[in-house]
Amino acid sequence: MSDVYENDSFFLAYIKWHYRKGLRELLYVSQNFLWFVIHFFSFELLIKTLFAPWKRLGETYEGGFNLSAFASTFIVNSLMRAVGFFTKILVLFVGAISYIVVLAFSICILVIWILAPVILVGSLVLSVTFFVI
Amino acid sequence: MTFKKLKEISEPHFYSIALDRYFAKKWRSALRKLAALAALISFGLSFDILPLSFGKADGMFFVFIFIYLTLSFVEFFYRSMMNEGLTVRIKEKMIDKNESFDYGLSNILYATDEIDVTRGFFEAKIGLLTFLRLGIPYENCKNFVYSERSPIMASALNFDSDFVNLPQYASTLYDIDKSLQSFLAQNSINKAEFVGTVMWVSRMEESKQCKERFWGRENLGAIPSIGTSWSYGVATDLGKFGVPFEYSVDISLFDSENGYREKEVQILENILQRSSEANAIIIDDDEKVARDIVGRLLKKIKLGTSLPSVEHKNIIELDSNNLIASFKNRSELEAEILKILNQSVLAGNIILYVSDLSGFVSSTKNLGINLPSLLSPFLASDNIQIISSATNSDFHFIIESSPTLLERFERVIPDTIGVEASVSVLLEQVLPIEKQYGVMFSYPAILNLAKSADEFITYGEMPSKALDMLIEIAPWAAERKMEVLKENDVSVFVSEKTGISTGMIKEKEMEKIEHLEELLHKRVVGQDEAVSGIASAIRRSRSGIANPKRPISSFLFIGPTGVGKTEVSKSLAESFFGDEKKMVRFDMSEYSSPEALSQLIGDFAMNRSGLLASKVRDNPYGVLLLDEFEKSAPDVLDLFLQVLDEGVFTDALGRQVNCRNLIIIATSNAGSDMIWETIRSGSNLVKSKDVIINSIIKDKIFRPELLNRFDGIIFFHPLQNNELESVARLGLEKLARRLKEKDIEFVVNQDVVDFLVEKGSDPQFGGRSINRAIQNEIEDLIARKIVSGKAKPGSKIEIKREELQ
Is B157's pLDDT higher than 90? no
Is B736's pLDDT higher than 50? yes
Give the C-alpha distances (Å, rounded to integers) separating B606 from B602, B610, B628: 8, 11, 29
Enumerate the H helices of B46-190 as residue ranges.
57-82, 103-111, 117-123, 125-133, 138-145, 166-176, 178-186
Provide, for chain B, the percentages of residues in helix, strand and coil under a 3-state DSSP scheme, each rounded to the nearest 5: 60, 10, 30
Whether residue A118 lies inside any domain: the answer is yes
The per-residue pLDDT for B70 is 94
Q: How far is Cα B537 from Cα B551, in angstroms, rounded to an integer?
A: 12
The answer to whether A32 contacts B220, with C-beta atoms less than 8 Å apart, is: yes
Q: How confident is the model at residue A121 (pLDDT cuts 50, 70, 90)?
A: very high
The per-residue pLDDT for B445 is 93
Domain holding B766, by residue range, is 721-803
Pick the last residue of a domain from B212, B228, B259. Answer: B212
- Among candidates B447, B445, B408, which has minimal Cα distance to B280? B408
Cα nearest neighbour of B8 on chain A: A6
CA atoms in the 13 A half-sphere facing the CB of A28: 16
**B702 and B664 in one domain?**
yes
Whether residue A44 lies inside any domain: the answer is yes
User: How far off is chain B from A104, nearest CA to CA, in Å?
Assistant: 17
How is residue B603 annotated by DSSP? E
Whether residue A117 lies inside any domain: the answer is yes
pLDDT in tens, B411-430: 999 988 888 888 988 998 89
Mean pLDDT for the stretch of residues B478-492: 88
**B690 and B769 in one domain?**
no
**B200 and B98 in one domain?**
yes
pLDDT higher for A76 or B259?
A76
Mean pLDDT for the stretch of residues B466-486: 90
The per-residue pLDDT for A2 is 47
Percent of all residues in chain B with a pLDDT value above 70, rounded to a whole number:
94
Of A28, A45, A56, the CB nearest to B228: A45
**B156 and B41 in one domain?**
yes
Mean pLDDT for the stretch of residues B450-460: 83
The sign of the CA dihedral B401, B403, B408, B410 is: positive
User: How far off is chain B from A54, nearest CA to CA, in Å?
Assistant: 6
pLDDT in tens, B16-74: 999 998 999 999 999 999 999 999 998 888 877 766 666 778 888 999 999 999 999 99
Whether residue A110 lies inside any domain: the answer is yes
Is A1's pLDDT higher than 70? no
pLDDT in tens, B161-215: 878 888 989 999 999 999 999 999 998 899 999 999 999 999 898 888 888 889 8
The answer to whether B59 contacts A131, with C-beta atoms less than 8 Å apart, is: yes
The per-residue pLDDT for B752 is 81
- Neighbouring CB atoms inside 10 A of B803's CB total 14
pLDDT higher for B55 or A33?
A33
The sign of the CA dihedral B575, B578, B580, B583 is: negative
Is B507's pLDDT higher than 60? no
Whether residue A49 lies inside any domain: the answer is yes
Whether residue A2 lies inside any domain: the answer is no
**B52 and B195 in one domain?**
yes
The pTM (predicted TM-score) of the whole model is 0.74
Q: Which residues of B touch A124 (CB under 8 A)?
A: 62-63, 66
Q: Which residues contact B177 (CB under 8 A, 6 or more apart)?
A: B117, B118, B152
Is B701's pLDDT higher than 70? yes
Whether residue B218 lies inside any domain: the answer is no
Q: Which residues are registered as beta bridge partners of B584?
A: B624
3-state per-residue secondary structure call for A30-44: HHHHHHHHHHHCCHH
Is B520's pLDDT higher than 50? yes
Q: How confident is the model at residue B578 (pLDDT cuts 50, 70, 90)?
A: confident
Is B505's pLDDT higher than 70? no
Q: How far is Cα B564 from Cα A71, in angstroms, rounded to an integer?
A: 97
The per-residue pLDDT for B761 is 66
**B171 and B249 in one domain?**
no
CATH number at residue B297: 3.40.50.300
CATH number at residue B772: 1.10.8.60
Q: Which of A127, A129, A133 to mutate to test the interface with B (most CBs of B within 10 A)?
A: A127
The per-residue pLDDT for A23 is 92
Q: Which residues of A touch B75 (CB under 8 A)?
A: none
Give the largest CA-CA distance in chain A: 92
Whether residue A113 lies inside any domain: the answer is yes
The per-residue pLDDT for B283 is 92
Mean pLDDT for the stretch of residues B96-121: 82
User: How far off is chain A from B228, nearest CA to CA, in Å?
Assistant: 7
pLDDT in tens, B79-89: 998 888 777 76
Whether residue B503 lies inside any domain: the answer is no
The answer to whether B19 contacts A10, with C-beta atoms less than 8 Å apart, is: yes
Domain holding A53, by residue range, is 10-58+65-132
Pick the last residue of a domain from B364, B379, B412. Answer: B412
Is B733's pLDDT higher than 90? no
The per-residue pLDDT for A103 is 97
Q: How confident is the model at residue B252 (pLDDT cuts 50, 70, 90)?
A: confident
Q: Which residues are registered as beta bridge partners of B649?
A: B657
Average pLDDT, chain B: 84
Give the largest CA-CA distance in chain B: 131
Q: Which of A49, A85, A123, A131 to mutate to test the interface with B (most CBs of B within 10 A)?
A: A123
The per-residue pLDDT for B198 is 94
Contact (Cβ atoms closer than 8 angstroms) between residue B220 and residue A32 = yes
**B552 and B405 in one domain?**
no
Q: Which of A130, A132, A133 to mutate to test the interface with B (most CBs of B within 10 A)?
A: A130
Is B802's pLDDT higher than 80? no
User: How far off is chain A from B157, nearest CA to CA, in Å?
Assistant: 22
With the CA atoms of B123, B125, B130 and B136 taken in that order, what torsion angle do they form, in degrees rounded to the nearest 10? 60
The total number of structural domains in chain A stands at 1
**B459 and B345 in one domain?**
no
DSSP B295-356: HHHHHHHHHT-S-GGGTT-EEEEE-HHHHHHH--SHHHHHHHHHHHHHHHHHH-SEEEEESS
User: How far off is chain A from B620, nearest CA to CA, in Å?
Assistant: 55
The total number of structural domains in chain B stands at 5
Whether residue A1 lies inside any domain: the answer is no
Q: Kindly tell me the burial class for residue B743, based on how many C-beta atoms sit within 10 Å of its own C-beta (0-12, 13-18, 19 or more).
A: exposed
Whether residue B219 lies inside any domain: the answer is no
Mean pLDDT for the stretch of residues B1-26: 88
The per-residue pLDDT for B30 is 96
Q: How far is Cα B206 from Cα B129, in angstroms, rounded to an integer?
A: 14
Is B294's pLDDT higher than 70? yes
Whether residue B230 lies inside any domain: the answer is no
Is B98's pLDDT higher than 60? no
Per DSSP, chain A holds a count of helices (H) and strands (E) of 5, 0
Pick the last residue of a domain from B715, B742, B775. Answer: B715
Mean pLDDT for the stretch of residues B482-490: 89
**B161 and B95 in one domain?**
yes
